[in-house]
Every structure is written in C-alpha cells, then in structure tokens.
A and B are shown apart, each in its own frame.
Chain A
Amino acid sequence: MTGGLTLPDEIRTVMDNGIPAVVVTCSADGVPNATIISHVHYVDESHIALSFQFFNKTIRNVRENPHACVSLNDLRARTQWILDVQYDHSEAEGPIFDAMDMRIEAIASASGMAGIFKLRAADVYRVKSFKSINKAALSQ
C-alpha cells in the first residue's frame, strides 16, 4: 500500500492513543452522517483502518459513497487532525484485524459489552489528504 502522501508521526501517535474519533460519511443522495468511532488504526503512511462493528448508517453510506472524513483529536497538543479518506477494502482477518479486535475486546470485556462490540471487519481507507487545526492557537 503506497501512495504519494505520507502521514506524519504525530497522527500515528494520536491514533495509537486510541482516543475515539469522529467519522463523517455521505449517502449516495447527498445526506451526511457524523458518528463517533472507538478506534482509528494506523495501517501505513497512507492508509488507516476503521472498525466495522455495527451495520449502521456509516457502513451503508461508505458502501454507497467511498469518500469520508475523519477527525482525530490530540488532547495533549490540543490539535485536531482532519483526514479525507476513501474506502479501499475490508479485512476480516490478518494482523490489522487482530490488532484492532484485541484492543476493542480488551476494553469491551471489562465494560460488560464483549458481546456487543464485536469487530466484524477492519475497513481500510486510503488517506487522500490531511490537515491540522491547532485549537490552542484558535482559542487565543
């Protein structure tokens, strides 16, 4: 998986931190949908993976329209990262799936939701572009 874009290390750190992110999708007829997603997984310098746990509006939209937007929060740096992504493929096994599944199951099992948060697949997206917004600077 290669591309002309390279995600900076700061974004990888934010993803590794596992702070829930916001994903915005749009249906084929142009209706947007924003939702919180538990985990964004760093795949490589130009790809990320989102967890597919529920067959909800996000999934339906992505299957109709592969373009989406992901918002990540760096709480320490008070920085927001906005990524434009395009759905590439889904993996129901393999290292990416296992890593995401393990993280989700670890926390879900202690929260009494092991049966609810069941990873169906790791949806892999290509990152088309990204930008950062420094909230600290904005608040000044």
Chain B
Amino acid sequence: MTGRESDHDLAEQLARRSAEVEVLRRIALDINATLDLDSIYDFVLRTMDDCFGFRHSIILLLEDSDTLRVVASHGYGDQALGGRVAVGVGVVGMVAKRRRLMRVNHLRAQQAYFERIRSQMQAAGRATELGEVVAVPGLADADSQIAIPLVIKDKLIGVFSVESQEPEPFSQRDETLVTIVASQASSAIQNALLFRAVEERRQELAEAHERLQQLNETLEERVRTRTGQLEQANRELRETQAQLVQSSTMASLGTLAAGIAHELNTPMGAIHSNADVERRAVRIIRGIMRDPSMADKLGPQPRLERTLKVLDDINQMTLEAAERVSKIVQSLRSFARLDQPELEWVDLHEGIESTLTLMEHLLKDRIHVVRSYGELPKVLCYASQVNQVFVNVLTNAVQAIDSTGSITITTSHENAGVVIRVSDTGCGIRPEHLDRIFDPGFTTKGVGVGTGLGLSITYRIIENHQGSIQVESEPGRGTTLTLRLPVKSSQ
C-alpha cells in the first residue's frame, strides 16, 4: 500500500466514522422524541437498515420472567411478529439469560455440527437423551447474528437482534454500533413502557372511578328500595300485630260474651216467667173483683184499682226490660261466634244489628240510626272478621259525631256481591287526609282516642275477602264508607 492509498483509506474511514457518529447523534435525539412504542420500534429498526444495512432485525421484550416475545420486526414480513422463545434457548434466549452480547458467525456450520452429533446419537440408540429442536423466531436460514440484551438499571427488558444470511457480515464495529443503538433504544422503550403503564393505570383508575360511581348510584337506589321494603314490612308488621291484638281481644270478648249470655239466660227466664205470672195474677184479681157476687160484697175499690194499674205498668216495664236484656243476650251470642276461624254463610244484617246493640251505650239518645236494609243473601265469609269491620266502621262514625247526628246504614245486593254503606253526619275528613286514612298509624282523633289502625285493619280484612272499600267525605258534612263484598269469595 502506497502512502497515497493509505491516506485515501484513512480519509474514507474518517468519512465513514463521521457519518456513523452523525447517524448515532440523530438516533439519540430522535428516538426520545416520542413515547409511542410502535413509533420507537419502527424508528430503531428502520434506521438500522437505512444507515447500517442491517436488513433483518427484531426486538423481543420479556413477556414474563421465562419468555421473550417478538414485539417488532424488520425484514421478516409478519412471520416473526408475536413469536416467542424461552429465556435460555437459542442465541436470543441465551443473551437474555446471560445478559451479554453475542455475535455468532457461520451459524449454519455450527448447527450442522450439532445436527451431526444428534444424528450419531439417534443412530446409536440414544434418541431418548435428546430434547426437541426449537424453532427460534428469526430467519430460518440465518448464518450470522448479533444479539444484545436491552437492560435498564440492571433489569433486563428484552433483546435486540440482527441477523444475516451471510456467514461473516458483522464486524467488531457493527457490534459497537448495535450496542450504542440498543442502549438508546432501551431507555426509549423503557420510558415508553412506563408511560404506557401510567396511561393504562390512569385509564384503569378512571374506569374504576366510573364503576365506583355507578356502584354508588346503584347502592343508593338499592338502599332506597330496601328502605321502602323495610317501611312496607314495618307497616305490615304493625297491621298484623294490631290485627292480632284486636282479633285476640275480640276472641276474648266472644268467650266472655258467651259466658255472660249463658249466665244471664237463667235469671232472665225466671224474671220473664215471674212477670208473666204477675200479669196473669193481676188479670185473675180483676176478674174476681168484677164478678157480680164479689162486686156487691166489696163495693167500689178505687185504691185497689190504682194498685192493680201500678202493678200492670210495672209488669209491662219488667217485660220490656226483659225483652231488652234478651236482645242484648242475643247480640252477645252473635259475638260469641267471633273466635270461629272457619268460613261460614253469614247474615250480614245480623252482624250489623249485633254490633249496634253492643254499641247502644255509645249511641244513646244523641245518635239516630237509620236502617235502610235491602234484601241481602247470606255471604260466605269469616264472621268474626266482618263483625270486626262493622265495629271499626261504626265506631269511627260514632266518634265523628260531636254532639247529635245520625248514622244511615244502607244495604243492597248488586251483581254478585253485597254493598253496605255507612254514612254519618259527623265532622268529615279533610281532602289532604283522604289518601292516608287506610295507612297504619294514621289518625286525626288525637292521643288516646284512636290508634290509627282501625281502618287499616278494615281495609286488610275487606281486601282478604276480595272486596273493596271506598270513602267519600266532605268536611263538616259527614262521611260515607262503601263496603263491597262478593257473596262467595274464592279464598
């Protein structure tokens, strides 16, 4: 080599090195201009080809601690992308395992040596000692390769590999170039991975926040629904409890009434009998006095006549009183059925009358009861419960009337049912209270007067009998409750 040629070579080398330095400088600047992973991969692989002639290159990232996955490739079409290789297997796997650069030339010759040994072992009957041949991502006929670990702060993130079908295309200089670019790429990829992780985390947090909000809304709705259910259950519980108490009270009253009726019947029989004897005795005395033989002997007896008149009047009063007591006893007998739980055919008029009789002390002279009864068939129902309805409705009517007034009871047979209207001339119900009068606990009667459960229980009983209840009222004019019951409910 002449001095002139040597100078020329040196000048060429210098120009080549300057160009490489310029490319590396540009890579260092441009590679960090983006945080998009795909853009970084594309930039690295394309630049390695354009500037250094590396036609086949791949980037593999650690998928987990044991596996590398090809995330970007150049010069392979789509066949390399997504390929996997275990850490420790093949050149890239070994580079990942040892975290050291590896440059291999004449790869096929070396593989041929191993394949020859493999064939010899198979021929010698030692095939069981052999493992599977692994297809490593990359060129199937690669004859040389440089692979370098991508490491950030002593932590492996992946491997960068370039391959060639030529046996000796890569020089020590190529190793240096690949090492520099890989170092730049490691930082850029790590930054992009961190950015992506942060973005994914941010997205996850946003989604979690949204789910939480939805959950909160759902929770509030569920709390509202559950609260409503609990309130409803509480109302029903109070109703049932009140109904039980009232049923129990009525049943006790029935038992008591039956006992009283039985006890009253014997003395009432004696009173009635005595009154009758007295009436006949007075009649006999009058007959004797009017007999002509006796009339002549006794002469006019005005004092005796007055006495007999007094006896007649007293006797009449005794009989009327006895009749009244008998009627009360009859009513008590009617109520004595209250504890009977079976469905039975019931004369509703009888139930209304029994109730009125027992409420006589409340009516007295201040409330006039008007009965406008139609023809009613017997109704299949629970007598005790229906009587309880009459008691509740009539008690309300009585309590609505401050001083004097009237209660009109109208009954009729309409279609397949009976209708009972109870109208009073009481104070009426204010319009804003009309929607609530069947709510358990609602009352306008004041503390100690009403429990607020009577109409609620009434509503439930009528509903259980598949009937209906309707209320019309005008403040100051009175209230009309209309009860409808089927003659034969399906319960």
Contact = CB atoms under 8 A, between A and B. Distances in A.
Interface residues on A, range: 20 to 34
Nearest to B121: A116
Nearest to B85: A110
Interface string A93-122: 000001000110111111111111100000
Nearest to B105: A17
Question: Which of B95, B104, B106 is the most central at the interface, judged by chain A CB atoms within 10 Å of its CB?
Answer: B106
A114 B94 contact: no
B177 interface: no
Question: Which of A39, A102, A107, A111 is the most central at the interface, judged by chain B CB atoms within 10 Å of its CB?
Answer: A111
Given A106-B90, A111-B111, A111-B118, 15 more contacts: A13-B168, A16-B105, A17-B106, A106-B91, A106-B93, A106-B102, A107-B111, A107-B114, A110-B90, A110-B136, A112-B130, A113-B117, A114-B131, A115-B129, A116-B129
Contacts of A39: 110
Interface in B182-227: none
A13 B90 CA distance: 22
Contact of B89 (A18, A76, A109): A109
Interface in A5-61: 13, 16-20, 36, 38-39
B133 interface: yes
B447 interface: no
B377 interface: no
Question: Which of B88, B102, B117 is the most central at the interface, judged by chain A CB atoms within 10 Å of its CB?
Answer: B117
A109 B113 CA distance: 14
Contacts of A114: 89, 131
Interface in B361-412: none
Contacts of B98: 98, 102
Nearest to A18: B110
25 contacts: A16-B103, A17-B167, A17-B168, A18-B106, A19-B109, A20-B113, A75-B106, A75-B167, A103-B102, A105-B88, A106-B91, A106-B94, A106-B102, A107-B104, A107-B110, A110-B93, A110-B134, A111-B111, A111-B118, A113-B114, A114-B89, A114-B131, A116-B121, A117-B114, A117-B117
